[in-house]
Amino acid sequence: MKLFLLFFFTVFITITSCTTTKYYSKNTYLLDFRPYADQGFLMSTTTIGESYKALGDIMIECESGYTTKDGKSPNQIDNPGVGSDENPIYSSYTIKKGKYKQWEVQEVLDLLYDEAKEIGADGVINIRLTSTGHSGSTDFEISGLAIELIN
Whether 14 maps to a domain, the answer reads no
Structural domain that includes position 116:
28-64+102-149
Cα torsion for 70, 72, 77, 80, to the nearest 10°?
A: 0
Residues of the chain with pLDDT under 50: 80-84, 92
Whether 8 maps to a domain, the answer reads no
What own/partner pairs with CB < 8 Å and gap ≥ 24 does 79-82 have? none
Task: Read off the amino acid at residue 4.
Answer: F
Whether 117 maps to a domain, the answer reads yes
Give the CATH number of the domain where residue 124 resides. Answer: 3.30.110.70
CA distance 117 to 49: 21
CA distance 120 to 110: 15
pLDDT per position as a tens digit, 102-140: 888 999 999 999 999 999 999 999 999 998 766 666 789
The pLDDT value recorded for residue 43 is 96
Contact 43, 128 (CB under 8 A): no
Overall number of domains in the chain: 1
Whether 37 maps to a domain, the answer reads yes
